[in-house]
Structure 1
Amino acid sequence: MTPTPSDLPEAAKRRLSQGAFTSGLSVSDFAACLEMGLEPLGLVQGFCAMQWTTFGSFGRGVTPFAGSSSGYVENYQCPHGMISSEHRMWGQNYEQTWIENSWRDGFNSAYSRMLEEAGTLGAHGVVGLIDSEGPLSDVGVVEFHLSGTAVRVLDAPAPHHVWSTYLAGQRLAKIFEAGYAPVSVVSSVASVRVLSSCITEYLMGGTGAMWSVNAETTEIEQIVSAQNESRAIARSFVRAQLHGDALHGASMTGLTREFAQGDLEIQSRLSGNRIRRFKDFDPLTAPRPTVRLS
């Protein structure tokens, strides 16, 4: 390590002698953490790469009514009878539990590695957590990446477990002000496969007016049902992770992928902050003015 030059001001020598650290916080979030008594220790990260298979499109002559081994399944029968060999005689929505389990394993592995790295720094928690996922290759490999800033609560004993939150800065300060403390981030994915029935296929192709009562507007019931069930499953997964605590800052995102005509996958992801009340509402002290106009 390069020795500190002797001709520097005393304040500069003191800063250099304390060493350096990394942080993923913005300037305002960093200042707010210091004001709350949180000492940033360093940027921590966790990675995981998972490989799983998404089954391709089924042939029209294959009956899929075995469906999912567990979870949501809904079948749709053709109301027209036998029209031609290419006519869809069935349709089905079913939950892809193996994708949900693989996603959960990948996210939890990256998350636990991030917390383990924070623990080696002596951190009490991780704030400003950011998570992302994306394809690592074209062969079904998905990479999970989580990062955040490890912090230590000044003059406080170490907790039994490192806590985490997507929040930082003033948003985190408001949680403390309301009497809540972060416990962990929670996130889940639900995956529903849609094998279109004949009516759904016609409506999705824009040629289904003849099958509807109202020729101008028609609700595509199979797609609506799949979207609703996907969101309900994601909510149930997150609710199971709360263990009686509250969910704050929830965010629901959706993804639809089309493998072939009439063959869709609908994914819903719900993320948020698990928080727990530890005191009654206690307003923070008024901020001190730093700029005067006169």
Structure 2
Amino acid sequence: MCRWMVYSGGPILVEDLLFKPKYSLIEQSLHSRMGATTTNGDGFGIGWYGDRQQPAVFKSVDPAWSDANLRELTSQVQTPLLFAHVRASTGTPVQRSNCHPFRHGDWLWMHNGALSGFHELKRDLLFAVDPSLYPDIEGSTDSEALFFLALTFGLEADPIDGVARAVGFVEDLAERRGVANPVQATMATSDGKSVWVFRYSSQHQSRTLFHSTDVTQLRSLYPDLELLRTLGDETRLVVSEPLGDLPGAWREVPESSCGIIQPGADEIRPFVPIRPVRVA
């Protein structure tokens, strides 16, 4: 499996997010405490929004903990919205096109988990992708296939509905093919303005996912903590596992739910897959 992180807030130096926390994503790439695998060394990627509408991405097949280019890049890049992912392959090749986050137009996408039976389901899943989108699939992972299914089912118009229909399609197909419990997923997607995160599995035993506590609440709890004075009120983090052990700083994202990080009040809603309607 994998580990990932989303940051949304005021512009921040990327190295402050990736390298400096006690249990940073770089630390998790080598010593994950809560993941299905301890080491996540099958490549990494970051995606960020800057002065242009379309996000930039940087990916490598090297382990994140030893990549000198990542150190150089993150020491200079500042961003208000960052996706970062360290990969542990579930069977597909270790190659750049299989590293997260995936990008299509203004959108970023990343995933931790797996689609069980993907080898058996792959043909039908990919044939369901809209023909206009199919040529843009670069890699061979179930994660990218799920992204393009979500795009096909309307992600850009309604992200929650698009993901619900994509997951519902996978579960319906798997049931008809005799594949049990096909979806294991924590997912994140963004258009550069808002972020949507999802925690769902067919068994309702999803991988870990946490979100940061409201910064204003943390300041009241820890008025002498200098770090909290440097963060804006709109700072939000969503992580596979907490970046530190400050009591009260992290809350678990509920099982079978989706969260929306957006201007104004954030939201957490139940997430229910939408199965395709079949005519008798």
- Pairwise TM-score range, normalised by the shorter structure: under 0.3
Point out the structure with max Rg over C-alpha.
1
Greater share of residues in strand: 1
Per the normalisation by structure 2, the TM-score is 0.21
Question: TM-score with structure 1 length normalisation?
Answer: 0.21
